A and B are shown apart, each in its own frame.
Chain A
């Protein structure tokens, strides 16, 4: 890591702590400079505005995590069931953690107020496009029926989040789900998704028995 990169890292970490403790409105670039040390000019050379710094530090953990998690999605391996389950459970484990739920609340609270929403959305879209690429590859090889891969990625994401996220965001439940729970939610989401995006009937016949998973779901996942 270069000196500049490590400085950037220190800024991101300090800003993250301050934003989480004081909110976006309650934290100034001067506060962050005081916390990090050095000059305001240095801070601005790394991040041209408070908005951009906010978005960067709120998204940094998610982007780091996702770069590993997206490795589950390897279209060259054929049957996407396992890959999607592992990917889904891994995403849920992360976004349902107490810290990430709090970050998401802060994002939603600030997005409309400070106009940072578009910046967040662009980052989320960039992550989603990697899921779309995987789904597009599955469609190209006949493992999934052809449709808009971005739409399919939205549908997959919605199904994954369906069971657990809202009660956490609304603080109806506090405890983050354990791995058993996220794995089960991911299995059910992926089962519904794969049925919905199963190739049309002739393709299923042509693919012989290997696609049975697309249509038959074991009772415990129902």
Chain B
């Protein structure tokens, strides 16, 4: 068996991302992916023992790259809480509503009962973001910028509000791509409502 290389691994992941997006997790086969990159099936399986593992790696890689970028925006010590939340919301929504992320999310939900990908997606994408946002909320509450409440609940309320205008439409495929202006409008409205609900008065 040849030594595995990172560049080969990356090439497989890129090819797989394209195939999964084009035909979906269910219909994609390891052969499709192998055809796209060339080489033998044995090599492919040497890198990724199953389609499921490969799918998850594709998904994880895409999100992992941006997770820090998304939550890194959040600074609880900033004076302008609203500006901070709008900036974060914009980044969060831009990543989450990219065509790739939407395809991955649909698959994670659709396949969650037959594979581990729903759980993995929750543990590696949803939870870390929730935790990071909850930490922000806790600090903002401590500083007196937000009313005292359970920071975890405040975090999921914010995240859910951010998605409120678009989630159904996008998951049901009613709209394929979200225009940047409708995204920023939704973010602004969600942050306004969140702050009305959680700001100290």
The reply to whether B122 and A195 form a contact with Cβ atoms under 8 Å apart is no
The reply to whether A158 and B122 form a contact with Cβ atoms under 8 Å apart is no
Tell which of B106, B123, B164, B190 touches A112, judged by Cβ atoms closer than 8 Å. Answer: B106
Q: What is B's interface to A at a CB cutoff of 8 Å?
A: 24, 106, 108-110, 112-113, 118-119, 121-123, 126, 148-150, 153, 156-157, 159-161, 163-165, 167-169, 171-174, 189-190, 193-194, 196-198, 201
The reply to whether B148 and A169 form a contact with Cβ atoms under 8 Å apart is no
Which residue of chain A is the closest to B127 with respect to CB atoms? Answer: A172
CA distance A118 to B174 in the complex (A): 5
The reply to whether A109 and B157 form a contact with Cβ atoms under 8 Å apart is no
A206 contacts the other chain (CB 8 A): no
The reply to whether B196 and A197 form a contact with Cβ atoms under 8 Å apart is yes
Tell which of B119, B149, B198, B201 touches A171, judged by Cβ atoms closer than 8 Å. Answer: B119
A117 contacts the other chain (CB 8 A): yes
The reply to whether B112 and A192 form a contact with Cβ atoms under 8 Å apart is no
Write out, one digit per residue, whether chain A residues 138-159 have a CB within 8 A of any chain B CB (1) or not (0).
0000000000000100110111
Q: What is A's interface to B at a CB cutoff of 8 Å?
A: 102, 104-109, 111-113, 115, 117-118, 120-121, 124, 151, 154-155, 157-159, 161-163, 166-167, 169-172, 188-189, 192-193, 195-198, 215, 222
B112, B150, B198 — most chain A CB neighbours (10 Å)? B112
Assuming the A-B contacts A109-B110, A169-B118, are A121 and B193 also in contact, with contact meaning beta carbons closer than 8 angstroms in the complex?
A: no
The reply to whether B157 and A172 form a contact with Cβ atoms under 8 Å apart is no
B119, B156, B189 — most chain A CB neighbours (10 Å)? B156
- Give the secondary structure class of B's interface: helix
The reply to whether A124 and B121 form a contact with Cβ atoms under 8 Å apart is no
Which residue of chain A is the closest to B193 with respect to CB atoms? Answer: A196
The reply to whether A108 and B174 form a contact with Cβ atoms under 8 Å apart is no
The reply to whether B123 and A172 form a contact with Cβ atoms under 8 Å apart is yes
Which residue of chain A is the closest to B198 with respect to CB atoms? Answer: A192
In the assembled complex, the CB of A95 is this many whole angstroms from the nearest CB of chain B, namely 12
Tell which of B109, B148, B161, B189 touches A170, judged by Cβ atoms closer than 8 Å. Answer: B109
In the assembled complex, the CB of B116 is this many whole angstroms from the nearest CB of chain A, namely 9
Assuming the A-B contacts A163-B156, A172-B122, A195-B196, are A105 and B113 also in contact, with contact meaning beta carbons closer than 8 angstroms in the complex?
A: yes
Which residues of the other chain, A, contact B167 by a CB distance below 8 angstroms? 158
Assuming the A-B contacts A107-B172, A121-B169, A121-B174, are A166 and B122 also in contact, with contact meaning beta carbons closer than 8 angstroms in the complex?
A: yes
The reply to whether A196 and B106 form a contact with Cβ atoms under 8 Å apart is no
Which residues of the other chain, B, contact A198 by a CB distance below 8 angstroms? 196
Which residues of the other chain, A, contact B172 by a CB distance below 8 angstroms? 107-108, 111-112, 117-118, 120-121
